Amino acid sequence: MKLTTFFGTALAVAGTLIAGSASALDFNGAGASFPAPVYQSWGAKYKEATGNALNYQSIGSGGGQNQIINRTVDFGASDAPMDSAKLASANLLQFPAVIGSIVATVNLDGIQTEQLKLTGPVLADIYLGKITKWNDKAIADLNAGVTLPNQAIVPVYRSDSSGTSYVFTTYLAEISPEWKSKVGAATSVQWPVGAGAKGNEGIAGTVKNTKGAIGYVEFVYAAANKLVVTQLQNKAGKFVSPTVPAFMEAAGAADWNNTKDFAAPMTNTAGAGAWPIVSATYILLPKDPKNVEASKEVMKFFEWSYGKEGGEIAEKLHYIPLPAAVVDRIKAAWKAEVKI
């Protein structure tokens, strides 16, 4: 082989390798732990399909908001929707990614999953520190025939800034005037009693390892850790179990057309079979991205996730895909508002 031919071939091969490695694009997100399982599953499949990798850090909604405001990631993720003024100040577009549900989970000897019944006011009183024993009359009256232990209740809450806490405390504030006046609804609140844990992962682990504990987690964390979940009374007065049809009924009541920034509430919705604590989880994307190619990839990734394969993955993890009409509005917002 002539030397010039050898070097020409070598350069061509090197050029192909460089081009191939350059074509792969990593993009970074951080925030809510509520949707982390589905983002990670989507990311794995998306990389198989495209070669482009999502790096997602499950650090809590507050952390996700801070990181995207500071532009240290390509997108932020938050279960708590940001208000319009803050979105405008940070020049961010907010859109929903998927819908999930929050469940109450307990660790009580002799109690099977979906056996224990709780109401919103009882749940609020537990976290207010007014109900302190599992055999308290308020709980016993809801659970005739169930043997409840004379055991101290250990409420477990999120110690980090959390969209899951925002959704949970929003529900408690809607259902309990005392909770609304004394504690309120936010990503971080002053919890009257209990033990703190970081992330949905932390609450799931703490409940699993603490006798007498009660905590609130996104349903997939309860399912993955084989935790005992409770029934909850919904707005219609019915006790319902946390099931996908119950989540879908609540999600179906969301009023997307009359809400700004896609922040459609889904807690305590009407419907005989509706689960009472359901929420969308949100993506925060810069309208003026520093890394245009990464922002393009973020939108391609979520466009893929809204499709058939992404929807199937979400449903297997007990999340609810967005309605097609909402997806169309999201895509229109990308086109109109993100400068790429």
Q: What is the pLDDT of residue 24?
A: 78
| Residue 112 shares a structural domain with residue 189 | yes
**22 part of a folded domain:** no
47 touches 54 (CB < 8 A) = yes
- Which residue(s) pair with 197 in the sheet? 158
**284 part of a folded domain:** yes
256 touches 66 (CB < 8 A) = no
Q: Which of 230, 260, 277 is the last residue of a domain?
A: 277
Token code pair at residue 114: 């979906």
| Residue 179 shares a structural domain with residue 226 | yes
| Residue 249 shares a structural domain with residue 174 | yes
| Residue 108 shares a structural domain with residue 92 | no
Helix (H) or strand (E) holding 229: strand 228-229
277 touches 69 (CB < 8 A) = no
Q: What is the pLDDT of residue 111?
A: 96
Task: For residue 169, count other CB atoms closer than 10 A to its CB.
Answer: 27
- The sign one gets for the Cα dihedral 285, 80, 261, 42 is positive
Enclosing domain of residue 289: 28-99+279-337
Helix (H, G, I), strand (E, B) or coil at 172: helix
| Residue 118 shares a structural domain with residue 93 | no
DSSP readout, 118-155?
Answer: E-HHHHHHHHHTS--BTT-HHHHTTSTT----S-B-EE
Query: What is the pairing mode between strands 278-286 and 195-197?
Result: unpaired
> What CATH number does residue 144 fall under?
3.40.190.10
| Residue 259 shares a structural domain with residue 121 | yes
**3 part of a folded domain:** no
Q: What is the pLDDT of residue 59?
A: 95
Rg of the chain taking only CA atoms, in angstroms: 23
DSSP state, 1? Answer: -
Q: Which of 247, 262, 277 is the last residue of a domain?
A: 277
* pLDDT tens digits in sequence order for the chain, 340 residues long: 443 443 344 334 333 333 333 467 999 999 999 999 999 999 999 999 999 999 999 999 999 999 999 999 999 999 999 999 999 999 999 999 999 999 999 999 999 999 999 999 999 999 999 999 999 999 999 999 999 999 999 999 999 999 999 999 999 999 999 999 999 999 999 999 999 999 999 999 999 999 999 999 999 999 999 999 999 999 999 999 999 999 999 999 899 989 999 999 999 999 999 999 999 999 999 999 999 999 999 999 999 999 999 999 999 999 999 999 999 999 999 999 999 8
| Residue 270 shares a structural domain with residue 300 | no
How many domains does the chain contain in total? 2
| Residue 157 shares a structural domain with residue 213 | yes
93 touches 333 (CB < 8 A) = yes
**245 part of a folded domain:** yes
Comparing CA positions, the residue from 132, 150, 139 lying closest to residue 116 is 139
By residue count, the chain amounts to 340
Q: Which of 257, 277, 297 is the last residue of a domain?
A: 277
Contacts of 35 (CB under 8 A, 6+ apart): 77, 79, 97, 98, 100, 218, 281, 319
Helix (H, G, I), strand (E, B) or coil at 189: coil
Task: For residue 101, count other CB atoms closer than 10 A to its CB.
Answer: 28
**84 part of a folded domain:** yes
Crossing angle, helix 163-175 and helix 61-69, to 10 degrees?
A: 120
